[in-house]
Amino acid sequence: MNLKKFTRSNLADLRPYEVKDVPYRIKMDANENPFDLPKEIKEILASELLKHSFNRYPDPTAKELRAKLSEQLRVNIEQIVMGNGSDELISYLITAFGRDDARVVFPAPTFSMYEILAKVAGVEVRSASLTEDFDISVDKLIAELKSGGTNLVFFSYPNNPTGNCFDRQGIIDFLERDDTIVIVDEAYYEFSGKTFLPILNQYPNLVILRTFSKAYGLAGLRVGYMIAHPDIISEIHKVRLPYNLNSFSQKVALKLLEHSHQAAAQISVILKEHERIFQSLAQLDHIHPFPTDANFVLFRTEEDADSLFEHLLTRGILIRNLNRPGLLRNCLRVTVGTPEENNAFLNGLF
């Protein structure tokens, strides 16, 4: 039987998000927090684990976790919905608002899942190239909007992989349109300190995404959340899978919020190491690092990026090779690691 006859023709050219399985000693490619959960938190969780009822379904709306976030963010609990990572919430947004007249628009290069999830949902996709200094071109993006239709415009803020925060007024220009829902993905907010949250209630078409995967070090447990107008949240609940966030992830995220000083201490170290990596790279004649507001540094090498990537890999150091024609030509991205990992990376450049 030819099973291809059952597949969707509009997915024929879609390339799945691929995580290559390569051997490494030091992992600095995925923008993860290099520090594991603090021992104090693990001891608390170990005690909670013995009392946890794994045979029961989790709280379907993660009410206790949302209440804590509501308190810390100073927003109404009805403005928050939890997800199994931000990816799931991006998918829900496209599913809920991806009408026949809808279009997903984003600057490029950016986080690849915006395009992948839109294509999976069968929603039209358009992108507009960033400027040479990695900022958005408002005019180019506006030209890609669907006239007379519904537009979902995604901004990674700071942007991945470039690491910079886009022009704020440029994003507000889209918020002031009545044909556009603007999604600001603040996955790296804890490192940048820059957010659109203070103007959330001014713009009912503003959606903010955040995650516990980066600063809080919960990449392995997949916890993300969305902050938006209650009417948007209501539509998300219509398409949200029941029990989408498991009970253990809810408990761990809650404990991290209750002991947020632990994450703050790790963030402080990461930011100091980020500056050290940037300054060290800037001193090398053949390397140009770009200023970033995240927990990674994008840099361009005057030599062949593929060769440098392989050179580091032979030393067991895995970073992200972004080399491709255009704005990311000869570019590589390194995630800030522990001080020891960062030393190994910098020494490995020679």
Distance of alpha carbon 88 from alpha carbon 242, whole angstroms: 13
pLDDT at 92: 98
Closest CA to 45 of 328, 292, 259, 208: 259
Class of domain 19-37+261-348: alpha beta
pLDDT at 125: 97
Residues 6+ apart with CB under 8 A from 103: 123, 124, 125, 126, 144, 145, 146, 149, 150, 151, 152
pLDDT at 17: 74
Asked if 348 contacts 317 with a C-beta cutoff of 8 angstroms, the reply is yes
pLDDT in tens, 70-115: 999 999 999 999 999 999 999 999 999 999 999 999 999 999 999 9
Distance of alpha carbon 122 from alpha carbon 116, whole angstroms: 10
CATH 3.90.1150.10, the chain: domain bounds: 19-37+261-348
Report which of residues 148 and 22 the model is more confident about: 148
Asked if 336 contacts 342 with a C-beta cutoff of 8 angstroms, the reply is yes
pLDDT in tens, 280-320: 999 999 999 999 999 999 999 998 999 999 999 999 999 99
Mean pLDDT of 150-178: 97
* CATH dotted code for 53-258: 3.40.640.10
Distance of alpha carbon 235 from alpha carbon 128, whole angstroms: 28
pLDDT in tens, 217-253: 999 999 999 999 999 999 999 999 999 999 999 999 9
CATH 3.40.640.10, the chain: domain bounds: 53-258
Closest CA to 35 of 45, 27, 47: 27
pLDDT at 278: 98
Full-model pTM? 0.95
pLDDT at 79: 98
pLDDT at 291: 95
pLDDT at 7: 75
Residue 53 vs residues 30, 45, 68, 251: alpha-carbon distances, Å: 33, 13, 22, 12
Q: Average per-residue pLDDT in the chain?
A: 95
Sequence-ordered strand ranges (E) for 277-330: 287-290, 296-301, 317-318, 320-321
Distance of alpha carbon 343 from alpha carbon 316, whole angstroms: 13
Q: Is the pLDDT of residue 9 over 90?
A: no
pLDDT in tens, 188-204: 999 999 999 999 999 99
pLDDT at 204: 98
